[in-house]
């Protein structure tokens, strides 16, 4: 069985990727530069494979210097997952609630004054918040979960470096926070091809219709030029949606891949996650147009060979 069919077989049987972690890590390593051996090195991107969401995040953030490097005592923090769909966690349409809860806990432990969680959902927001499991998990962990379904929650901002999306309305929680952490789920998307960290920014704006009418790929890159950039991008790939994204239809669309990617470089982390996704379903980087457009806007790099990348198997 070749590597791609191996991953698909695991998805169909429901087996955990950890059954053959060594082979899975080989798949991942094909798309990453060799990691420095010095554990104290300053890494640009960390990839973790084979653990539960909480354990993978704890290991990844430690490799980046700890959450206290990014979140300071007394700061207001936004944790922005994908909560766009009225789907249960097992269907991978939304970010894993266990990961969201762990990030909230870490921020509070670092001394955050307040941690806010929200998303501008596509389905009914109350159902999305509840059935995704994120509302309950975030509140239990100590976060304040706020709505985003009314235009009054948004304020107009200008994007001087953008090419198409010159102005847009952004949720006040983003504008008021000191730092925010972008926590997308890795999945296929019919229009954007991939929905990861850059695409997750559509959940902070009011008028998403403009994106779809005015060069979707460019607008996705444009919104990421906002001067309130995420301090961290944490890609949830515990389960990934390989087909019928972004909403999904059934568990046949889902692969249990048990991975996580984290970086301050939004283009790099989405490039790495797309390469990983490409082992499950063919998705060449040049088909995901917002990656190159983001690089052109100097949001980050698609050239992972230039970065210090840490790969970890749990």
pLDDT (tens digit per residue) in 1-26: 344 443 443 333 233 333 334 444 44
Q: What is the pLDDT of residue 41?
A: 52
In a domain, 47, yes or no: no
Residue range of the domain that includes 265: 3-10+70-283
In a domain, 308, yes or no: no
Q: What is the CATH classification number for the domain harbouring 84? A: 3.40.50.11440
In a domain, 64, yes or no: no
Our count of domains for the chain comes to 1
In this structure, the dihedral spanned by the alpha carbons of residues 136, 142, 143 and 147, taken in order and rounded to 10 degrees, is 40
Q: What is the reported pTM?
A: 0.89
Across the chain, mean pLDDT equals 90
In a domain, 132, yes or no: yes
pLDDT (tens digit per residue) in 94-108: 999 999 999 999 999
**What is the average pLDDT across 284-298?**
97
To the nearest 5 percent, what fractions of the chain are helix, strand and coil?
Answer: 40, 20, 40
pLDDT (tens digit per residue) in 22-71: 444 444 444 443 333 344 457 999 999 999 999 999 999 999 999 999 99
In a domain, 155, yes or no: yes
In a domain, 30, yes or no: no
In a domain, 24, yes or no: no
Beta strands in 86-241 (DSSP E): 114-117, 144-145, 154-158, 167-171, 179-183, 185-189, 193-195, 232-241
In a domain, 41, yes or no: no
């Amino acid at each position: 069985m070749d590597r791609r069919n191996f991953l698909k077989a695991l998805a169909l049987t429901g087996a955990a990727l950890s059954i053959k972690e060594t082979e899975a890590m080989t798949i991942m390593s094909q798309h990453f530069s060799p990691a420095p051996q010095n554990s104290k090195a300053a890494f640009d991107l960390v990839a973790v494979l084979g653990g539960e969401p909480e354990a993978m995040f704890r290991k990844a953030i430690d490799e980046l210097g700890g959450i206290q490097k990014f979140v300071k005592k007394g700061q207001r923090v936004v944790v922005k997952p994908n909560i766009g769909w009225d789907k249960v966690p097992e269907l991978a349409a939304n970010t894993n609630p266990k990961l969201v809860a762990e990030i909230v806990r870490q921020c509070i432990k670092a001394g955050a004054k307040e941690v806010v969680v929200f998303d501008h959902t596509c389905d009914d927001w109350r159902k999305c918040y509840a059935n995704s499991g994120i509302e309950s998990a975030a509140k239990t962990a100590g976060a304040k979960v706020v709505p985003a379904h009314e235009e009054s929650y948004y304020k107009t901002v200008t994007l001087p470096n953008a090419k198409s999306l010159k102005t847009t309305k952004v949720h006040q929680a983003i504008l008021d926070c000191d730092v925010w952490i972008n926590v997308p789920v890795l999945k296929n998307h019919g229009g954007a091809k991939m929905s990861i960290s850059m695409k997750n920014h559509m959940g902070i704006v009011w008028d998403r219709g403009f994106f779809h009418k005015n060069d979707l790929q460019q607008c996705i890159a444009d919104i990421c030029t906002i001067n309130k950039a995420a301090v961290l991008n944490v890609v949830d790939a515990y389960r990934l949606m390989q087909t019928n994204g972004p909403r999904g239809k059934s568990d046949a669309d889902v692969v249990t891949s048990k991975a996580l990617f984290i970086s301050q470089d939004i283009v790099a982390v989405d490039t790495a996650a797309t390469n990983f996704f490409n082992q499950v379903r063919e998705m060449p980087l040049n088909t995901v147009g917002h990656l190159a457009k983001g690089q052109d806007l100097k949001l980050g790099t698609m050239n992972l060979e230039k970065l210090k990348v840490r790969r970890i198997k749990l």
